[in-house]
Structures are given as C-alpha cells and as structure tokens.
Amino acid sequence: MKTKTYLYNTLSKKVEEFVPNEDGKVKMYTCGPTVYHFAHIGNLRSYIMEDVLEKYLRFVGYEVKRVMNITDVGHLSSDGDTGEDKMLAGARREHKTVMDIAQYYTDAFFEDCRKLSVKRPDVVEPATNCIDEFIHMIEVLLEKGYAYVAGENVYFDTSKLDNYYVLSSQKEEELQVGVRDDVEEDTNKKNKTDFVLWFTKSKFDNQELKWESPWGVGYPGWHIECSSISIRHLGEYMDIHCGGVDNIFPHHTNEIAQSEAFLGHKWCNYWFHINHLNTTGGKMSKSKGEFLTVSLLEEKGYDPMVYRMFCLQSHYRKPLEFSYEALDNVATAYEKLFKKIKAVPDEGEVDGQQVEEYKIKFAEAVGNDINTSMGLTVLYDALKADTNGATKRAVIMAIDEVLSLQLARAWEETEAASADDELKAYVEKMIQERAAAKKDKNFARADEIRDELREKGVQIKDTREGVQWEVVR
C-alpha cells in the first residue's frame, strides 16, 4: 500500500514521516512488563496502542519484527537506583520465590493480552535469560571509558556524553528521580545523573537472584536489559522503540546512553511513547497497590473489547481519564456497532476496488500518528456506504486486522445461533418420528432413530415429563 506513515517522535519532538532503516522492514522494540504483579489497565493501554502501531505497520505492507523483554530483575521501586527490587517485594508479599512470581505474572500478562487481542511480540525475552550479555556490554562500556567501578558497583558515567538529555530535554536542576527524603544519596556516583549498570555491595543483602560477574556477585541494573536484549535480537540499528511516557526518563534516556556508547553510533530513530491512563486520583500505578485489572472489569460485566475500544477512541499521546461512566458509554457504542455489523448481509460479490479504497482511507487515517479514533470513523463510514454486504464485510474484516475489536464475532454468533435453530428443528422432528414408530410398535425404527441422534451427538432420555435431549459431544 502506498500510503505514508507519520509518527510523533519523542526524539525530535515533532510528527515526522516514518522511514525505516531498511526498505519494507521495521525493527520494533517494546519495554515489557515488570512481572511482580498483575498488569493494570494503564499498562495495558500502552500495550494496546503499541499493538495497533505494529498491526498498522503490517497492514500497510511492512515486514515487522517486534521484540519485548520481560523485566524479572533489577527494576527498583524508584525507577532509578534507589529502593528495593520490585520483584523481591512481590515475592515477599506472596511468600513465593522471585522466579515463581515472575512465571505467574508473565503468564497472567499474556492472558490479559489475549483477552484484549494484543498480539504476542515475535520475540519475548526475560532479562534473567541474558545475564552474560549484560555483563559483556558492561565490560565494553568500561573498556571504552563510559563506565566506572565505585564501591563495588559499576556506574555509567553520564558526563562522557555530549547530550545525555537527547530524549527527555530535562534540565539537570529539575532532576528529581531517585531523590527521596528517606534515601541516602549514593556517594559513589561521580555525577548526579550517573546510573548503576551492575549492583553488588550496596544492594546485595536481600537480593534473591544474583550472579557471578567480574565485579563480584550481584545483579544488573534495570536499563541495561533493554539495550542488550534489543541489540541481541534486532541488531545495531532499530527503527521504533516504544513505552509509556514514564519510561522517557530515566529508563529510555539511560538506554540511549548505554546503547550508543556501546555501539559508537546512533541506535534508534523513532521513539513512540503512550501517555498515561489516569484515574481521578492521578496516574494509575502498580506500586500504589489499588489498581484496575482486566479480570476486575470482566467481573463487573465488561467485555475486554470494550476497554480496547475505550483506548482506541482517544489519541495515544493524550492522557486518558478512566471512569466507569466513560466505559459504560463505550460499552453501549460497542454493542451498537456489533448490531450494525450483524445486520450486514452476506450477499453479493466483493468489489475489490472499493475494498482497496476503504483500506487506503483507513491507512491514511491511522497513518496520521496512529489516529485510531479517525480509523474508527472510517469503519462507521464503511458501514453506511452504498455497497453490497459482501464488500462491507470484506472492509470490516480488513480494518479489524488493525483495530482487533473481534468484529467477526458478530457474524459467528449469528451463524452459531442459526446452527442451533437447525439442530433443534431436526431433533424435534426425529423425536416425533420416534414417538410415531413406538405407537406403531416399530421398536426397531425407534431404536434406529435414537442411535442416529446419538451419532450426531444428541442424547435423548425418556422421562415422565416427556422426551428430553441434550448435546453430549
């Protein structure tokens, strides 16, 4: 498809035309979840919008390779170098081992993704699988003079970079990360913005998972995993790196510092950041303890697709405020949409040219910085179009490759309902025939009918209330 793609790039702070390094191919990286708890629907907003980006790129013809890490070590409660490992806190909370909770919440995360039609990335890599590679990267950074050892930890020396704030445009004086009243300043750091690549001494005591390294037994800092895992699977040049806006600083800023110092050249061209889902009390966050999950929404009777549609209705760069009233409105809209789609008859020949025109309209709408609400508008326009049912159905199916609102379910339900009706009519006819055969004392025919039904997966039972039946297959 010859449509152009425009994306807001956090690096340039502008909407830019997207041009990958290699023609027709996109290398994409997503910061995965920290698996110490269930993902909340705020986290999942990010993954839904990244999923749309990936599916849109495939829709317009790119071959996409997408990699995601799973953070199962090293992410401290502050996002910086202070506080304890979130995984450790999770394990303690549940009286389990770190590896147990990592597995449990990784599975739970992908189950939520499945419910929300979020495709699993091509590569999913837990950080604890790649410790040797992290150590190698740190060794190279030390050799190149970008890192130093102090107090038996290894630090990245941010003063060695021309522009540490290339992504975040923060001012050094405004820097607050890691500065909490209850945490002592790390006096090993040469510069306030330096960050840990490998922990040993200061964070050693309680850590459950630790590894041998040239600097002593310890564990990696959080940021190194994404630099290392992405380079391992996508090579030295990456096209798009994604995450929520809270990842811009310090996580992505530090990823750029490490990766470019290690590689000796520019690493990733486009940075795609999703704004937060907020509640009236502010940003939804796992560490606050109270948060909304997909399962909770399901318990309250919401189809996960309603939450996906809620996300698609607003632009990913704007903060989104969650409320049940807003979700109820979307539930109504989703139901109406479903009804409209159900009513599209399966008739006529597909008009290929018209389908293509709608696909282009849709690609242009979404290609304008992932404008999903405009994409939805194209879907509604297609439903109103003056064309036959088969063409409309083809357009809906194509658009739903990206929106993934499980729209084909509308027809599957209709088909299932009509299959049910057919079966019911058939079974009732056979039961009547059997009753007639019995009346005529033709027991052989009556048994034959019972066996025929059994073969079709229907069990009949003679009861005082009459003949009853159930599907047993």
- Which residues of this protein are in contact with Zn ion, per CB under 5 A? 31, 226
Q: How far is the CB of 425 from Zn ion (least distance, A)?
A: 58
CB neighbourhood size of 413 (10 A): 12
| Buried/exposed 78-89: b ≥16 CB within 10 Å, e otherwise | bbbbbbebbbbb
CB under 5 to 8 A by kind: which of Zn ion, ligand AMP, none does 388 bind?
Answer: none
Q: Compute the distance between CA of residue 101 and CA of residue 117 in angstroms, rounded to an integer.
A: 24
CB under 5 to 8 A by kind: which of Zn ion, ligand AMP, none does 34 bind?
Answer: ligand AMP
Q: Please identify, using beta-carbon distances, which residue of 286 and 359 lies nearer to ligand AMP.
A: 286
Task: Record the tokens describing residue 86, joined without a space.
Answer: 């979130």
25-30 β-sheet, strand order: 123-126, 63-70, 25-30, 238-244, 268-274
Q: Please identify, using beta-carbon distances, which residue of 40 and 359 lies nearer to Zn ion.
A: 40
User: What burial class does residue 245 get, using C-beta atoms within 10 Å of its C-beta: 0-12 exposed, 13-18 middle, 19+ buried?
Assistant: middle
CB under 5 to 8 A by kind: which of Zn ion, ligand AMP, none does 244 bind?
Answer: ligand AMP
Count of alpha carbons within 13 angstroms of residue 198, beta-carbon side:
29
Helices (H), 211-323: 223-234, 253-263, 294-299, 304-312
Q: How far is the CB of 252 from Zn ion (least distance, A)?
A: 7
Q: How far is the CB of 294 from Zn ion (least distance, A)?
A: 22
Q: What is the DSSP letter of 461?
A: E
Residues near ligand AMP (CB under 6 A) are: 31, 33-34, 42-43, 45-46, 71, 243-244, 246-247, 274, 276-277, 283-286
Name the residue with the smallest CB distance to ligand AMP: 244
Q: Please identify, using beta-carbon distances, which residue of 44 and 430 lies nearer to ligand AMP.
A: 44
Q: How far is the CB of 284 from Zn ion (least distance, A)?
A: 19
Q: How far is the CB of 58 from ligand AMP (least distance, A)?
A: 21
Task: Record the tokens describing residue 150, joined without a space.
Answer: 């102090």
Q: Is 462 left (phi over 0), alpha (psi -120 to 50) or beta?
A: beta
Q: Please identify, using beta-carbon distances, which residue of 31 and 306 lies nearer to ligand AMP.
A: 31
Q: Please identify, using beta-carbon distances, which residue of 53 and 344 lies nearer to Zn ion.
A: 53
CB under 5 to 8 A by kind: which of ligand AMP, Zn ion, none does 128 bind?
Answer: none
Are 35 and 85 a contacting pair, CB within 8 Å? no
CB under 5 to 8 A by kind: which of ligand AMP, Zn ion, none does 226 bind?
Answer: Zn ion
Q: Which residue type sits at 159?
A: S
Q: How far is the CB of 364 from ligand AMP (least distance, A)?
A: 27
Q: Please identify, using beta-carbon distances, which residue of 10 and 71 lies nearer to ligand AMP.
A: 71
Which residue(s) pair with 69 in the sheet? Answer: 125
